[in-house]
Homo-oligomer: A and B are copies of this chain.
């Protein structure tokens, strides 16, 4: 099935949720005129549909292969990636001084959504490159920026994030990879990293690994970590890729999905010849990593939007095409397309609504990135608060929508030929990587709630309450306020035990508020299919999905002793 970029919807959300016109009024984003935005959305839509979408299936069935010479991508990926670089699609949001176009982050978000909607595995390569750009832009030396950023900004080289090690999954403080000074300002890197997405591939001339490692005599835990720039090939005097930097691909994972995204085990410095450069200050690894990571978290939330959009398009096409059974209660006994059966239509409406909710949430957060970059301190705080919501709820919705997509297909959804199953398998990891969704919930009720004693949350809730009309939505916003106050006074265990239900409630409240706003932006006289669908979706979300989230309040207030009244051994009983 072909993929069509949802240009009208993206444009609408950029206009009414992000406030693109407001951004374009600033000097920095003056280039983001309506014409430019339209041209970018249309252009990437055509590119992604034409070049990347056709590779989605072979990416799954053939997959990236591990060989003695490193990772080999399936046929066509190298060319399609080069076309992406040459088309300048990597440069949208990159800094102008390094060859980028410096357009709003929110617009770059829409571009990345379209790439990933076309081919989710493939879009992970640019996603991670953006993280590397952010880290170097904020923490790199001038020399590092000059040598690396122009290549990363275009996507000519890709970037990776190297955090996880076998003994340290989510526990970054337990990392063991070592960096020893070589006496010339550079560092010898040794250690093994796992779960490195696009840790190796054959699409570009170089790969820029950003590696968390421990320097000699560094303190234990996260404070002893520094971030290193470790290219696959060291740069020669002209800044071109030169000597191999002793980074071995030990294996790639056999995953349930995302087969065209090679997940590598990388061994650094097996032969004592892996050289890295420190990024920022020694011991400043975690701060620099969070610069990458927060960005990456939003973009993983965006993967939820990507897969939801694609799964919905596929399910709608199938349901319009597949004719089966007469409609119950109808006069005619002729079989109808299954989209006309009520429960199928309910599933499709839910897919549409959850996809649009996820997009509103993630784009809204992306708009806060732009506002923060313009110096708005409140936007920065709101972004910090919303990041765990965008990551966790965005990916929860991506998985939910892909799951419903299988159901719409019936038996055909379970056989691989249809493609619905691939989305379901691909989507599942998004709730795990870049900090599991449980860790996002812990971040919300911990750092994000505590950072200012709940005032960022309360300001958001007050603005939401002021701007909302639906009875259930107002009740949900009030319930979030009540739970938030409870959380602030609760013991750590109680907060954490209830963190996930709270994250979901709050996310639905934010989505409900944003979708109400979208609904109001539709003119009453507009009789286009887009307008009709937007009215239906916003009504469905407010009437049916918002009330569901109210059902989580009991869990969000439940104490931890419900879980700790028994010991671990009883769980095996």
Contact = CB atoms under 8 A, between A and B. Distances in A.
A406 interface: yes
6 contacts: A253-B414, A342-B497, A342-B560, A348-B571, A529-B569, A532-B566
Interface string A339-359: 111111111110010000000
A330 to B, nearest CB: 8
A-B pairs with lowest CB-CB distance, top 8? A551-B551, A329-B492, A529-B573, A342-B496, A547-B554, A343-B438, A342-B497, A171-B325
Interface in A517-573: 528-530, 532-533, 535-536, 539-540, 543-544, 547-555, 558, 560, 562-566, 568-573
Contacts of A195: 411
Nearest to A499: B343
B565 A532 contact: yes
Interface stretch (A126-134, A181-189, A206-214, A427-435): A427-435
A446 interface: yes
A256 B425 contact: yes
B424 A411 contact: no
Nearest to A312: B571
Copies in the complex: 2
A229 B323 CA distance: 30
Interface residues of A, number: 106
Interface stretch (A36-44, A48-56, A87-95, A415-423): A415-423
Contacts of A22: none
B438 A320 contact: no
Interface stretch (A162-170, A273-281, A368-376): A162-170
A496 B544 contact: no
B442 A343 contact: yes
A562 B547 contact: no
A250 to B, nearest CB: 14
A148 B41 CA distance: 65
A328 B491 CA distance: 10
A46 interface: no
A536 B497 CA distance: 15
Contacts of A145: none
Contact of A317 (B406, B441, B493, B572): B572
Contact of A413 (B352, B432, B540): B432
Contact of A550 (B164, B340, B551, B562): B551
Contacts of A254: 415-417
